[in-house]
Every structure is written in C-alpha cells, then in structure tokens.
Structure 1
Amino acid sequence: MRVTQADLDLAGRLADAAGAAIRPYFRSAHGAELKEDGSPVTLADRAAEAAMRRLLDAEAPGDGVVGEEYGEKPGVTGRCWVLDPIDGTRSFTVGRPIFGTLIALVVEGWPVLGVIDQPIARERWLGVAGRPTTFNGAPVRTRALPELAGAALATTSPHLFGAAEVAPYMALVASVYGASTGQGPVYGGDCYNYGLLASGHLDLVCEAGLKLHDFAALVPVVEGAGGRMCDWNGDPLTAESGGDVLAIGDPARVDDVLEAMRSA
C-alpha cells in the first residue's frame, strides 16, 4: 500500500484542477439543481470532477475512479481514486467558504492518501498512511483531550441523522456538554471540520449517512495527525464501511465516545 511521490504529485494536480474549475462559480451563477436523492449539485461540482477525471484518464488510466457526480470507472490495478468535487455543496451555494474538494487514493479497499482542499481560502490538508499530516505543507497534530466533558464536538447537521441514529448522537452530546445551556455542538462544516480536527481546533466529529466519497479522504488526514477515525462500532473505515463515522482527535477517548453512544 505504498504511496509514491508520483501519487502525491498527482493528488496535488487533481486538487489544483478542481480548484481552478470551482473558483469562477463561487458567489456567482452556479446553476444549482437537485439530484434524484434531493441533494444539490452545481456546475462547479460537475466541472471540478470532470477536470479531475481528465487528469486521471491521462496519468493513471489503469486505476479505478469513484466520483460523486459521474459514478464508477473500474480499474485493473487494485487502486482507486475517490473524488468528491465539492463536499458541502449547500455551503458553496450560499457563499460559505467551508466546503472542500476531497481526493482519496484507496488501495485494496484501504484509504492510504487523502486531500482536503478548500479552494477559496487556499487551505490544503494532505494525509498519507505512515506519514505526518500537513496543512499547506507544514505538519499538524490533533490535540490532547483529558476527558470527554467539555470537548469541542462538531457535526454537519442534526437533521442528517436517521431515526435510529438520533439517540446515540444525543447521548454523546449529553456526555460532552451535560446540562450546559451556554455550550453545544458546532454545526455546519462538512469535510472542513475534519481538517480543523487534524489541526487541533476541534476534538470530535460525529456523522451518519456518509458515502465512500464523503469519508475516504478524511481517514489519512485525521490519522496522520494523530487522531482516530472509525465507525460507530469502533471498527476501521474501509471501502466496505457504512456511513456512520467518528473522528476523534485524541485516541485515548475512543472508548469513552463509544461508551457514551452505546448508553442511549
């Protein structure tokens, strides 16, 4: 599962190409419409994924590709590039620069390279299995969390949890914030939250209903910064995982988080 310098260079070019396609549409006419599943898509989403696929067709034609907008292209190498051109399209459509382009390299089902790229602020997290995560080229680390109480917990939206997922999430919220009326989770952010966690600004992210293109890139970024990513059972995230995802900045708190959620 070795990641080569050529892979890193290609990932950087993919992020650059996506950003160049996205920026002209930001806070401009972006042609938003709803897909069959009710989620939004814009001209920027489609242009960014198309740009990345052109590069992959030219430079890694044997690798598979999975993208949110244009589906799956089977490969013959055991390697697959997983693309989400705009993770956080709702934020993009209202002019909030807290969305990101996600690029992952998955080898035999395991995410080994991940990029979170925010093309407006020009912020880029790069994670590679076995190496320190970087933010704009400089190493970053998650922060220590002595206890669960008082952690900074984020999720994109509580409305995205299904009926069976609400109780475990709310049990986690109760364990973190107790009866406090002045504190609560951070809402909004999509993939940007995971970059903030990797840089030591958040402690926990809890999500449900994610797809491979939503979480594959996040795994190397968070874990290369010293954190842990897993599903709600505590199992590692692979191409076969479901959509219940936890990011925990301090691995010493993994059992505490799981215990809190199981108490629901």
Structure 2
Amino acid sequence: MSIEADIILMQRLADVAAEASLPYFRGQPAIEQKADLSPVTVADRAAESAMRRMLERDRPSDGIYGEEYGVSASRSGRFWVLDPIDGTRAFVAGRPIYGTLVALVEDTRPILGLISAPAAGDRWLGCTVGTPRTTHNGRPVRTRACEGLGAARAASTHPLLFSAAGHAAFQRIGRSVTDMLFGGDCHNYGLVASGSLDLVMEEGLKPYDWAALVPVIEGAGGQVTDWRGRPLTMADTEGRVLATGDARVHEEALARI
C-alpha cells in the first residue's frame, strides 16, 4: 500500500468523523465520565465508530488504537491511532477548536498525522516519509523562525493538568516566554506547524493524544519530544510532550525543564 493511498484514506477518515460529530456540536449532548474522570459524549463514540468501520473494511490487516474502543490487533505491524474528539470539554462548551486526530504508526513511531478541526474549518496533515511535509487546508506550511525561548509564543491546555513536579517545570517555561496562552487542545499544535505559535508543553497525554501531532509538526520543520528530548514512541508512559517550531527554542526549553 502506498503512502499516498494512506493519505487519501486518512482524509476520508477525517471526513466521516466530521459527519458523525458535527450534528452534535452546540447541541448540548449528554456528558458521561469515564474511569479516568475524563468526559465522553455520544459524538466521541459516533466519530470513532465511523472511522473504525472504514478501517475494518479498507485496511483489515492494520490494527486500531482508539480512545473510546481500545485496541484491535494488527497483522501488518501498522496501527491507526484515533482520537475522535480531542477537546471534548471544548466541544461540549461550543468552542470550535476541538479536533479529530488520526495517526498511522509503523514500528512504534507515527509516520502520518492529521488534525481535523471541522467546526473551525482547519485541517493539518503531516507526513515524515520521504521528504517531510505538512499542509494546512491543502497548502504547504512551515514553522516560523524564533531566536529563543524569550521570543516564543507558547500554549498549553490548562496548568491544572500538570502534576506537582510537572507544574514546577511548566512554570519555568511559562516565566521565560513572551506570551503563554491556555486552552486550544490539539489546535495549538496545528498553529505551531503553521508558524503562529512556537511552543506547546503538556503532561499526561496518551498515544491517541499525541501520535497525530508528531508528523504534523515534524513535517513542517518542528520538533516533538518528551521532556528529556527523546522521540515519543507508543511505549511512552509519561505523556510529557514538548513541541516547538524552532530547534533553538526546543534546546533552551529542555535545558530549563
């Protein structure tokens, strides 16, 4: 199967997820609380179910790693990693920057990633196979040059999502940047790829939260690692993510963490 065929399928997955979730947007769907205390709605489940049906039909040998319905085995060594609604709280509140995340993983590393924010009209797609590349709504994008942490525009979903030790590290970064924004979930990472933000720092993410983000940012010239500077893999258990657009910002942030 060619990477171009996988890209076409990834776009179709985002389309069916949008078709499943958008009818519930600003419709005040009922919220349930999962065992990890995170929220889930019928829209989350409908979007993941739609993507799983397509994958089971079109890529029956590939595995699926989804937030809502778990893991199905892979015979090919490849996995499609799905987060049907990243930012469920934003979705329920009617904020249009929630997103659907889709990644294709080979040998524990994501090679294709897609961030789809259908209510906002944004879609980023990144590829690290061959020549790395990322598009936003079909047009090539690059991260912006930033001379250092002091000139960086940064973002994180919420300071209360850090552990005590993680929050101390986050404060060191937050005090060093020129501006820190909160909220945004996966949309922040797309903005790094497009050159509007320079850094995103988060903790406690699961593979379905970060897998799609890696090719999007790396394909645009940026870096995504854990807080020790190591590549993220599906075996990661800490979920400590540092994403930057410029290597100088990344190096300085790692030193301060």
TM-score (norm 1): 0.94
Q: Which moved more, 1:142-151 or 1:195-204?
A: 142-151
Give the letter for the 2:229 counterpart: G
The one-letter code sitting in structure 1 at the alignment partner of 2:145 is A
Query: Which of these residues, 155, 165, 188, is aligned with residue 193 of structure 1?
Result: 188
Match for residue 82 of structure 1? 81
The answer for the alignment partner of 1:63 in structure 2 is: 62
Deviates more, 1:166-175 or 1:39-48: 166-175
Identity of aligned residues (%): 54
- Partner of 2:89: helix, strand, or coil? helix
In structure 1, what is the equivalent of residue 248 of structure 2?
Answer: 252
**What residue number does 1:132 align with?**
133
Residue number in structure 1 paired with 2:235: 240
SS in 1 for 2:90: helix
Partner of 2:198: 203
Provide the alpha-carbon RMSD of the alignment: 1.1
Please tell me whether the aligned partners of residues 175 and 260 of structure 1 are also in contact (alpha carbons under 8 angstroms): no
Aligned length: 254
The answer (yes or no) to whether the contact 1:22–1:119 under 8 Å persists in 2 is no
- Alignment-mate amino acid for residue 18 of structure 1: A
1:3 deviates by: 5.5
5+ residue gaps, structure 1: 178-183
> Does the aligned pair in 2 maintain the 1:3–1:112 contact within 8 Å?
no
CA displacement, residues 87-139 of structure 1 (integer Å, 9 cap, x when unaligned):
00000000001110000000010100000000112211000113310001100
Distance 1:260 1:174 in 2: 11
Structure 2 match to 1:169: 170
Residue 239 of structure 1 deviates from its aligned partner by 1.0
Q: Which runs of 5+ in 2 are unaligned?
A: none
- Can you list the C-alpha shifts for 1:176-221, whole angstroms capped at 9, x where unaligned? 24xxxxxx41000010000011000000000000000000000000
| Structure 1 letter corresponding to 2:239 | G
Quote the residue 2:16 is aligned against.
17
Q: Give, in whole Å, the separation in 2 of the partners of 1:122 and 1:201.
A: 16
Q: What SS does the corresponding residue of 1:133 show, helix, strand or coil?
A: strand
Question: What residue is the counterpart of 1:180 in the other structure?
Answer: none
Counterpart for residue 102 of structure 2: 103
Paired residues of 1:173 and 1:185 also in contact (CA < 8 A): yes
Where does residue 117 of structure 1 map in the other structure? 116
Structure 1 window deviating more from structure 2 (165-174 vs 39-48): it is 165-174
Following superposition, the deviation at residue 240 of structure 1 comes to 1.5
Superposed CA deviations along residues 152-195 of structure 1, whole A, max 9, x for unmatched, are: 11000000001111111111112224xxxxxx410000100000
Does the 8 Å CA contact 2:243/2:250 hold for their aligned counterparts?
A: no
In structure 2, how many angstroms separate the alpha carbons of the residues matched to 1:91 and 1:53? Answer: 23
- Give me the whole-angstrom Cα distance separating, in 2, the residues matched to 1:221 and 1:3: 19
Which string of whole-angstrom CA distances, capped at 9 and with x for unpartnered residues, describes residues 209-236 of structure 1?
0000000000000000110000000001
Assess, with a 3 A threshold, how the Cα gap between structure 1 residues 148 and 29 changes in structure 2: closer, same or farther: closer
